[in-house]
Structure 1
Amino acid sequence: MKAELRGNPPPISLQNPSLFNTPQNSLSGALRGCLGSLDGACIEKLLLHCASALESNDVTLAQQVMWVLNNVASSMGDPNQRLTSWFLRALISRASRVCPTTAVNFSGSSGLQRRLMTVTELAGYVDLIPWHRFGFCAANSTIFNAIQGCPRVHILDFSITHCMQWPTLIDALAKRPEGPPSLRITVPSFRPPVPPLLNVSSEEVGLRLANFAKFRDVPFEFNVIEDSSSSTMGEMISRESSSLYSESLLNHLNPSMLDLRGDEALVVNCQNWLRYLPDDQKGRAQNVSLRDTFLEVIKGLNPQILVVVDEDADLGASSLTSRITTCFNYFWIPFDALETFLPKDNHQRIEYEADIGHKIEDIITYEGLQRIERLESGPKLSQRMKSSGFLSIPFCEETVREVKFLLDEHASGWGMKREEDMLVLTWKGHNSIFATAWFPSGLED
């Protein structure tokens, strides 16, 4: 998908540097040393130049840079070109919001199309690269060890992947020497409006899990935390109201509403979830962010273990240029990984990259509470957890072996390392996903 810019200016040719000479020589300066060889570093430089122009409301200069990027961007090119096409699309979207009359846009498109997957398609999506399976494996192994000997287990599951994590754990529990526990899984009806999106309801997912658990002779119960303010099946929650739904969810996280039982071991699982809780303290009581409030509420439930898995990048900065730098260097990872084993025109690859494009558009286009993606790095999350009164649970060698065995099924560029409290998935040495495990400090006795 080549970005098509509307307007009168002719496309800027990389072989005609005189066209870059603005009065401030700023565009020519951005391209100095890059002509004829637009590698990742030069593309990043152009993206930052465009971001600076947009932050200063210089739409004319932003358009000029976009024309240059348009010569590079291609959704069927190499990883840098494919990634650039999504950044260009996001920058055009932001420019259109800053100046609605500006003559830049994708022809015939005002937004990204959201697709609904079948359960089978979701399984293939999860298996494509270890982006999600790494967290599933590390979490399930740690949870399995934490609940050894427990006859009843209740998992409070906060995840964007529609319970795809749990069949593997159910299968492992079925093989326990002492027999499987009675397992209960509770999920919220609220879900952040982000990919992957499924074409069946949470209740249908629960029914499928129940059938699998019955097949494996694991006593099973599935519950949905109902909230009348949540969207119905197939409807997307607006950006403006997403934080309100998150806050409403907190009111349901109490022992009574969750039907917590004294004979159950409580497990809380957060897979790619905390980032969608706003971290802005403005307008909240005692200047405590919703993210910290959530952790405080979870701590009050006294879980036996809390697992947090997320993408290892800082994308919550208020500065657009800072977000672009981190975003470009971070999301290069899945684009490069997909290049190693899928053809350029592979439909599954294009759709996976489009889902990353959703994230890029959100990170670049929106500000304040309208921006949904607010990632924080693993080290920052670890500090937040400790400040919230949680203690780290080290990953045992058995868990490390299981994760390594999983990674052996994928391309050789994937690796794993330990960093303080975390296990970290890497691609060619670059951090991509972190996994951590915690318990409330009051439970150490």
Structure 2
Amino acid sequence: MASIDLSSMLKCALLRHGLRQDPPLEDDDEEARKGFMDPTVSYISSVLLDDDGDNEDHDQLARSGEYCQILSELTAIVAPRPLDSPKNSDSDGGLEYLLVRCAQAVAAGDSSRAFALVSDIKGALWRSSGSMGCLCRTISFFVDALTARLEGFGAQVYAAMAKEVTRRQYLSVRLLNLPCLKLSQRFANEHILELARGARRVHIVDYGIQYGFQWPYLIKALSQRSGGPPELKITGVDCPHVVNLAETGRKLVEFARSCGVPFEFMAVASENWEKERIIRCKNEVLVVNSVLRLRHLRDHGTVAVDNPREVFLGKICGLRPDLFLQTEISADMGSPLFLQRFKNALEFYKQKMEYFEAVAEGKPEEHGFIQKVAARDIMNIVACEGLERVERAASYRVWDARAKRAGFEGVAVTEEIYDKVRSACGKFRNPNFGFARDGNWMLLGWKGTVLYAMSAWRPKRVLQVAGMFQVL
């Protein structure tokens, strides 16, 4: 099948909502040609060379040993069998049809029918294993997740898969090579640099900081500011089981010192971000930032006062930050209804895996890592429920409505920032990959599907007049 140009498909898909779509820039990123990203690469290398990180990976793999057997046993639970109907072919369309039927059987509680369909699909996948395409690989991840759900081992298998993705793999692959992450970080950093012009003190609260590799680019840029760098403080918030925040802080302090930037780091280790109290100091520019992590906040699916997402956004708005920067996976995969969530996830990952395949072409290490992460996330979406399900992505339109209810207003993306973000693609060029804008959201799409969305916000200004408050 001939490839379909995104300039037509993405445009058709988005213009129905009044959006306009722009193609990627053709010129290479000037700053990349000058080696401006080298600070980030050197920072990642320093983390990789840390001996403590090596021990952490070995310990992590050892702890996952008790679950690895479950992974291998699940692959053999249902033996593949020949398809019993000539109507169901081994084509990708036929496999997808069988997969949805299997999910319907699972949703209806018909386990015998579901197991039979799992066996059919595995048989077809086994026969095509020598030439398995992107869709077949994606279907195999969903089949494994359905099998784990049927057997009641979803949480255990997900835990094993999560522990198999070590820090060394995460950093050595250098996810900055993935346009989605590289562009989202550039989007945030360019907004912060614009805001920090002339500021004497800048405070960034980063929810989901992980290893902090978003910030070397910003620190280096601030060090080259005319008139000298500001005092920079970063409050890193993350879950204690995800990352060692003390180590992240130590590395960032070392890097800032090497650049001559006055720097302070504060660690906040927490599982419940909506409950943590952040203190804003006087005379500082405050920025709240989160890249691809707010989807892990719990969501009741309602506009309730105790909804963690509503509470979180309300708390952030109450800090009156100068800027709130948000990047999200844009997909409706948070529904408590299994079948709806399954179908939405399948449609999303069909496109996302194609995008990942294009990005990782000719890079076997990155390709293997990306597949491992995708399989892990699909396992959680399909096979886990309740508090065990942590992948709860929502569309950018849902996040947009929540932010506005919390008291935020959108900050328009300037042409200068927009062009810089687009140019950060570097050498990655693909006609199926492109950009669109919707209000203050900058969207990244693949074949007409929005995959990632970035936005900038600020609290609505309030004017007190004769004892009354008026929103401007």
Structure 1, residues 370-403: CA drift from partner, whole Å, max 9, x if none? Answer: 2111111111111111111100001111111111
Asked whether the 8 Å contact 1:414–1:425 carries over to 2, the reply is: yes
Whole-angstrom distance in 1 between the partners of 2:153 and 2:113: 14
Structure with the bigger percentage of helix: 2
1:13 aligned counterpart, secondary structure? coil
RMSD (Å), alpha carbons: 3.0
For residue 424 of structure 1, the aligned residue among 443, 458, 469 is 443
Deviation at 1:147, TM superposition (A): 2.3
1:112 counterpart = 2:161: yes
Structure 1, residues 67-118: CA drift from partner, whole Å, max 9, x if none? Answer: 1221344787211111111111110111011999xxxx99xx9942523544
1:221 counterpart = 2:264: yes
Other-structure match for 1:375? 393
1:130-141 equivalence runs, <5 A = 130-141=179-190
For residue 435 of structure 1, the aligned residue among 454, 464, 469 is 454
Deviation at 1:156, TM superposition (A): 0.5
Other-structure match for 1:314? 332
CA distance change for structure 1 residues 366 and 137 in 2, over 3 Å: closer, same or farther?
A: same
Other-structure match for 1:144? 193
1:358-397 equivalence runs, <5 A = 358-397=376-415
1:60 counterpart = 2:112: yes
1:359 aligned counterpart, secondary structure? helix
1:193-208 equivalence runs, <5 A = 201-208=244-251
Amino acid at match of 1:419: D
1:51 counterpart = 2:119: no
For residue 155 of structure 1, the aligned residue among 197, 204, 209 is 204
1:33-432 equivalence runs, <5 A = 34-39=88-93, 42-73=94-125, 77-97=132-152, 111-112=160-161, 114-115=163-164, 117-118=166-167, 121-122=170-171, 124-159=173-208, 161-190=210-239, 201-226=244-269, 245-246=271-272, 249-255=273-279, 260-280=280-300, 287-340=305-358, 342=360, 346-412=364-430, 413-432=432-451
Structure 1, residues 15-44: CA drift from partner, whole Å, max 9, x if none? Answer: x417xxxxxxxxxxxxx5x524233xx433
Asked whether the 8 Å contact 1:185–1:223 carries over to 2, the reply is: yes
Deviation at 1:305, TM superposition (A): 0.4
Whole-angstrom distance in 1 between the partners of 2:173 and 2:355: 16
Whole-angstrom distance in 1 between the partners of 2:274 and 2:354: 38
2:461 aligned counterpart, secondary structure? helix
Amino acid at match of 2:309: R
Structure 1, residues 135-192: CA drift from partner, whole Å, max 9, x if none? Answer: 101111112112222110010001264311111111221222232111000112525x
Structure 2, gaps ≥5 residues long = 1-70, 463-470
Structure 1, residues 185-236: CA drift from partner, whole Å, max 9, x if none? Answer: 0112525x6xxx66xx21111111112112221111111025xxx5xxxxxx
Whole-angstrom distance in 2 between the partners of 1:121 and 1:99: 23
Structure 1, gaps ≥5 residues long = 19-31, 231-244
CA distance change for structure 1 residues 136 and 352 in 2, over 3 Å: closer, same or farther?
A: same
Whole-angstrom distance in 1 between the partners of 2:320 and 2:167: 36
Asked whether the 8 Å contact 1:210–1:221 carries over to 2, the reply is: yes
Deviation at 1:125, TM superposition (A): 3.4
Structure 1, residues 269-323: CA drift from partner, whole Å, max 9, x if none? Answer: 01122211111179x9x64301100111111111100011010111111222211
1:164 aligned counterpart, secondary structure? coil
Whole-angstrom distance in 2 between the partners of 1:353 and 1:289: 32
Amino acid at match of 2:142: F
Asked whether the 8 Å contact 1:281–1:290 carries over to 2, the reply is: no
Asked whether the 8 Å contact 2:298–2:309 carries over to 1, the reply is: yes
Deviation at 1:366, TM superposition (A): 1.6
Whole-angstrom distance in 2 between the partners of 1:219 and 1:351: 36
2:419 aligned counterpart, secondary structure? helix
Whole-angstrom distance in 2 between the partners of 1:213 and 1:94: 47
- Aligned positions, number: 389
Asked whether the 8 Å contact 1:275–1:374 carries over to 2, the reply is: yes
Amino acid at match of 2:451: S
Amino acid at match of 1:428: K
Other-structure match for 1:17? 85
Other-structure match for 1:238? none
% identical aligned pairs: 26
Whole-angstrom distance in 2 between the partners of 1:430 and 1:442: 34
Whole-angstrom distance in 2 between the partners of 1:84 and 1:223: 43
Deviation at 1:254, TM superposition (A): 3.8
1:150 aligned counterpart, secondary structure? coil
Deviation at 1:419, TM superposition (A): 1.6
Deviation at 1:433, TM superposition (A): 0.7
Deviation at 1:337, TM superposition (A): 2.7
Asked whether the 8 Å contact 2:331–2:348 carries over to 1, the reply is: yes
Whole-angstrom distance in 2 between the partners of 1:304 and 1:331: 35
Higher relative contact order (CA 8 A, sep 6+): 2
Whole-angstrom distance in 2 between the partners of 1:43 and 1:222: 51
Other-structure match for 1:242? none
Whole-angstrom distance in 2 between the partners of 1:170 and 1:253: 25
Deviation at 1:339, TM superposition (A): 2.8
Whole-angstrom distance in 1 between the partners of 2:401 and 2:343: 23
Asked whether the 8 Å contact 1:426–1:432 carries over to 2, the reply is: yes
2:458 aligned counterpart, secondary structure? strand
Asked whether the 8 Å contact 1:250–1:297 carries over to 2, the reply is: yes
CA distance change for structure 1 residues 36 and 280 in 2, over 3 Å: closer, same or farther?
A: closer
